Amino acid sequence: MANVQQFEVWKTDVKPILELKRDEFHLFGHDKASEEDIWRLGIEKLRKESEYTPFNRFVNVLMRLSVTDYMNEKTINAYKGTEGWLKDTDDELEGILDEVLGNESEADNRK
């Protein structure tokens, strides 16, 4: 049986790194990126490993996260339907088009 890694105890220790990465993603135009998104992305990368992860390895993984990693995760979640791109509309295509074209005010008016 594999050892269960407990990353949650390190969350307060790596908070400055999460803030740094959030600011970096914001500079690249991803204003919706949050510290929690970056935390989950880092943990997902490490959950695939079967060995115990030391703290320095965990910090390294967080520091090496890129905007590409973030966008890949968002894209995969969108395909799975877990990102909520539909903007409360009845028609899926209409919701996706509203999201892509930035017609959020029109989508809000249809509620």
The whole domain housing 98 covers 82-111
CA–CA distance from 91 to each of 16, 51, 97, 98, 109 (Å)?
41, 45, 10, 11, 15
pLDDT at 77: 83
Q: For residue 33, what are the contacts with CB-CB under 8 A and spacing of at least 6? A: 22, 25, 26, 70
pLDDT at 5: 64
9 or 92, greater pLDDT = 9
51: pLDDT strictly greater than 90: no
pLDDT at 91: 62
Asked if 62 and 21 sit in the same domain, the reply is yes
Asked if 75 and 88 sit in the same domain, the reply is no
pLDDT at 90: 55
Asked if 41 and 12 sit in the same domain, the reply is yes
pLDDT band at 17 (very low <50, low <70, confident <90, very high): very high
Please state, in angstroms and rounded to a whole number, the distance separating the CA atoms of residues 61 and 55: 10
Asked if 88 and 67 sit in the same domain, the reply is no
Burial class (CB in 10 A: 0-12, 13-18, 19+), 39: buried
| 3-state secondary structure (DSSP) of residue 35 | helix
Asked if 91 and 69 sit in the same domain, the reply is no
pTM for the model: 0.65
109 or 7, greater pLDDT = 7
**Element housing 19 (H / E):** helix 15-27
Into how many domains does the chain fold? Answer: 2
